Amino acid sequence: MSASPPPLKIPMPLRVPELAPSLGRLLVPRRLEPPWVPLDDVREELATGVLELGGEARAAAVREERERVLDAVSRRAWLGAWERAVRRAGERVSAAVDAELEHAARRVRMPRLLRRGRLLSPSEQRAIAARLASGGEGLIAALDALDAAAAQARDASVLDKVAHAEWQEALRTAARRLEAAWLSLEAGVADEQRRWAGEVEAVARWRPPLWPVLALGVPLAAALIWVGLVLGGYLPAPAWLAARLGF
């Protein structure tokens, strides 16, 4: 008796959920005051990029391009959008710190070479970016879960509705974690302002050292007093000066 053929496995059609409701304040910020460093364009670019990824995935789903759907909203795509936003925010914060240091140094007339030495070093700039990125730990965990859910959804059949639902929920969770990561980044920007305020104040308190003035001024003043006493007849003039002055 011949074995019956295995049942035909029909892949589950992938449906990308709407991500905008899960992005929350990444789309519509609620603030009591404007941030120290303007970042709305970075925020908008991040939100737009994620929404475009979702749109690209939905278009691929209509064409039944299963791998393209999963790639468009993959861990790699989400992480790339987040890292670009962090990099731009870090560059902008570093530029703002340098601008405040430069302004304070110019106000106290700090010499140019010394002024340049007060600006952020490359390692300090990298440290700023790393601190801003640290709020993305929850996002990274969510993207790891998304990667695992995508692997299950890739092979899901029409009978594997749980795998498909878990993948959709993993996408929504990633969007919520992205919102939380951005809010943490904005809080980190405010922390950087406080962190560098002391350095800016130290530059503003700088004054030129007095030793060059003393080193040059004291001998010059002594020489002028001596010449005055000689000319006034209070001290004898040395021979070379007496001959020059006709004493």
Residue 39 token pair: 């970042």
- 198 and 217 together in one domain: no
Average pLDDT of the chain?
86
Q: Is residue 107 a part of any domain in this protein?
A: yes
Amino acid at 7: P
Higher pLDDT, 4 or 20: 20
Task: Check if the beta carbon of residue 195 is closer than 8 Å to that of residue 128.
Answer: no
Q: How confident is the model over 28-43, as pLDDT tens digits?
A: 988 777 788 999 999 9
Q: Is residue 6 a part of any domain in this protein?
A: no
User: What is the predicted pLDDT for the residue at 195?
Assistant: 93
- 109 and 163 together in one domain: yes
Q: Is residue 230 a part of any domain in this protein?
A: yes
Q: Is residue 2 a part of any domain in this protein?
A: no
Q: Is residue 242 a part of any domain in this protein?
A: yes
Interval 69-97 mean pLDDT? 96
Q: Is residue 28 a part of any domain in this protein?
A: yes
- 70 and 140 together in one domain: yes
How sure is the predictor about 1, in pLDDT bands with cuts at 50, 70 and 90?
Answer: very low
C-alpha to C-alpha distance for 78 and 14, rounded to whole angstroms: 18
Quote the number of domains for the chain: 2
- 66 and 92 together in one domain: yes
- 80 and 144 together in one domain: yes
C-alpha to C-alpha distance for 146 and 169, rounded to whole angstroms: 9
Q: How confident is the model over 98-120, as pLDDT tens digits?
A: 999 999 998 888 888 888 888 99
User: What is the predicted pLDDT for the residue at 160?
Assistant: 77
Contact partners, residue 105, CB within 8 Å, separation at least 6: 114, 115, 118, 203, 206
Interval 68-95 mean pLDDT? 96
Q: How confident is the model over 129-149, as pLDDT tens digits?
A: 999 999 999 999 999 999 999
Q: How confident is the model over 203-216, as pLDDT tens digits?
A: 888 887 655 555 56
- 199 and 213 together in one domain: no
Q: Is residue 129 a part of any domain in this protein?
A: yes
Q: Is residue 34 a part of any domain in this protein?
A: yes
**220 has pLDDT over 70:** no
Q: Residue 229's domain spans which residues?
A: 209-247
- 157 and 220 together in one domain: no
Give the DSSP letter of residue 149.
H
